[in-house]
Amino acid sequence: MALIGRFIEQILPVGSITLVQPDGGRETYGPGGGKHVTVRLHDRRAAFELFRNPRLKLGEHYMDGRLTIEDGTILDLLELIVGAKPWEQGKRKGLGKGKAKAFKRFFRRNDPTKSRRNVAHHYDVGNQLYELFLDRDLQYSCAYFTDPDNTLEQAQEDKKAHIAAKLYLKPGQKVLDIGCGWGGTALYLNRVADVDVLGITLSEEQLKVARQRARDAGVSDRVRFELIDYRHLDGHFDRIVSIGMFEHVGAAHYDEFFAKCRDLLTDDGVMLLHTIGKLGGPGTPDPFTDKWIFPGYHLPSLSQMSTSTEKVKLIASDFEMLRLHYAYTLREWLRRFTNAHDKVVKLYDEKFFRMWEFYLAGGIVMFESGAACNYQVQYIRDRRAVPITRDYMAEAEARYRKSLMAPAAKKRPSQARKAEAAEPVK
């Protein structure tokens, strides 16, 4: 316990943490002056394991109930630890990163069979889970907040318009959606731009919903969905969009992914890649997320993406970084997920709820203080494939938004999100 206390003293420039031992003894660490959290460890071995491997064991101990929060929330604790020194302020005290394991993981392979198994681990746990905290369209990726006070529904509609505008769509074009989720984006593109879309996924649960939605909309002849790995596709597409899928490709397969996308694009084709990314240079997966949430995932750095696309002569014709949009998205997901506690526990159990609570809270702090961000990169094969200015994007985005005004109120009833946006992470 004393070792953990000394570690807390080293990493906290503000705030304090009270550690409660299994026998009830307690000590408070940190300089104070900010947020305070009380953490109880329920067995003595938990403290030793936490000190040896904090990046994995903090989440596992919370998930297993060996570590509980008595004053505050798990988000409060993570904000104290990760927010102690934001990424852009320089190096902070490392949380037990093992270089040998990091090296091994960086070169691990995600072949088609393993990729499908990894996807099933996360996405085939049941659609009911996602319906509890996502927006109505089941968009499971970073929303686009034109105003931090917008509803999640509005922000996800704006995300689709923002992406569609960058695709430079024309009626009748063939569009490929790699990692189509529950089909919302594919249906949206057909609706606003009169294009034909093929959505592909490795999740059987998502496929069922996507196909049913296309049937319900009467567009099954123009919006199709298939259970297939992108590596097994043939043919050519005028446009390719991929939202929230590239994180699952794996660093060892980046060259393969971009080479395949280039082959699938027509000569004047346009691709838009929307992915979680990493600030700075290449990194390694978070061990808790990799083990329990997204097996085989890897967050790309901009340099990794550039190195791979340069090899196959894909031109990065437009680039945008979304810095805080995913933090806003995750805060709303966590709020809805927490409010659905009883329903989640009924579907699964308390351990599952805590696992996902830790995952969502961890995502918030990584986007607010850690090294995570979102990239939107437009790729083309021919430098003349799109207009020479970005004006076409703004025009199309405004047109798409106007054609599909969200029926729900644009603003949230409370000012909670506005306050979150205005205040820096403590």
pLDDT tens column, 95-125: 544 444 444 444 466 677 666 565 565 555 7
- Cα separation values, 328 from 62, 149, 285, Å: 24, 9, 22
Same fold flag, 2-96 and 106-415: no
| DSSP element (H, E) containing 322 | strand 315-322
As beta bridge partners, residue 277 has 373
Helices of type H across 107-248: 112-123, 127-131, 152-166, 184-193, 204-217
The rounded distance, in Å, linking the Cα atoms of 32 and 16 is 5
Would you mind telling me the total number of residues written for the chain in this entry? 426
Which pLDDT score is estimated for 32?
87
Report the percentage of the chain scoring pLDDT > 70.
87
The rounded distance, in Å, linking the Cα atoms of 396 and 7 is 52
Q: Is the pLDDT of residue 210 over 80?
A: yes
- Cα separation values, 83 from 11, 19, 278, Å: 10, 19, 17
CA angle 390, 313, 389 (to 5 degrees): 10
Domain ranges of the chain: 2-96, 106-415
* Mean pLDDT, range 358-371, rounded to an integer: 97
Q: Does domain 106-415 have CATH number 1.10.3720.10?
A: no
- Cα separation values, 249 from 108, 174, 260, 377, 391, Å: 11, 23, 12, 16, 32
Q: Is the pLDDT of residue 48 over 80?
A: yes
Fold exhibited by the domain 2-96: Nonspecific Lipid-transfer Protein; Chain A (3.30.1050)
* Contact between residue 156 and residue 424 where contact means Cβ atoms under 8 Å apart: no
Residues 6+ apart with CB under 8 A from 236: 174, 264, 265, 266, 269
Buried (b) or exposed (e) across 2-37, using 16+ Cβ within 10 A? eebbebbeebbeebbbbbbeeeeeeeebbeeebbbb
> pLDDT confidence of 403, banded at 50, 70, 90?
confident
CA angle 185, 156, 412 (to 5 degrees): 155
> pLDDT confidence of 9, banded at 50, 70, 90?
confident
* Mean pLDDT, range 365-372, rounded to an integer: 96
Which pLDDT score is estimated for 105?
45
CA angle 131, 133, 135 (to 5 degrees): 75
Q: Kindly tell me the burial class for residue 50, based on how many C-beta atoms sit within 10 Å of its own C-beta (0-12, 13-18, 19 or more).
A: buried
- Torsion sign, CA atoms 342, 345, 350, 356: negative
Assign 259 to helix, strand or coil: helix
Which pLDDT score is estimated for 389?
97
User: Average per-residue pLDDT in the chain?
Assistant: 89
For the chain, first and last CA: distance in Å? 25
CA angle 292, 298, 303 (to 5 degrees): 160
* Contact between residue 333 and residue 360 where contact means Cβ atoms under 8 Å apart: yes
408-418 pLDDT, tens digit per residue, is 445 555 444 44
- Cα separation values, 48 from 43, 53, 305, 328, 362, Å: 10, 9, 39, 35, 22
Report the percentage of the chain scoring pLDDT > 90.
76
Assign 249 to helix, strand or coil: coil
Q: Between 354 and 12, where is the model more confident?
A: 354
264-304 pLDDT, tens digit per residue, is 999 999 999 999 999 999 988 899 999 999 888 899 999 99
Q: What is the 3-state secondary structure (H, E, C) of 67-132?
A: EEEEECCHHHHHHHHHCCCCHHHCCCCCCCCCHHHHHHHHCCCCCHHHHHHHHHHHHCCCHHHHHC
Q: In what order do the strands lie in the sheet with 36-41?
A: 26-32, 15-20, 36-41, 67-71
Please name the amino acid found at residue 331.
R
The rounded distance, in Å, linking the Cα atoms of 313 and 108 is 25
DSSP state of 171: T
Which pLDDT score is estimated for 8?
84
* Mean pLDDT, range 190-202, rounded to an integer: 97
310-322 pLDDT, tens digit per residue, is 999 999 999 999 9
* Mean pLDDT, range 343-347, rounded to an integer: 96
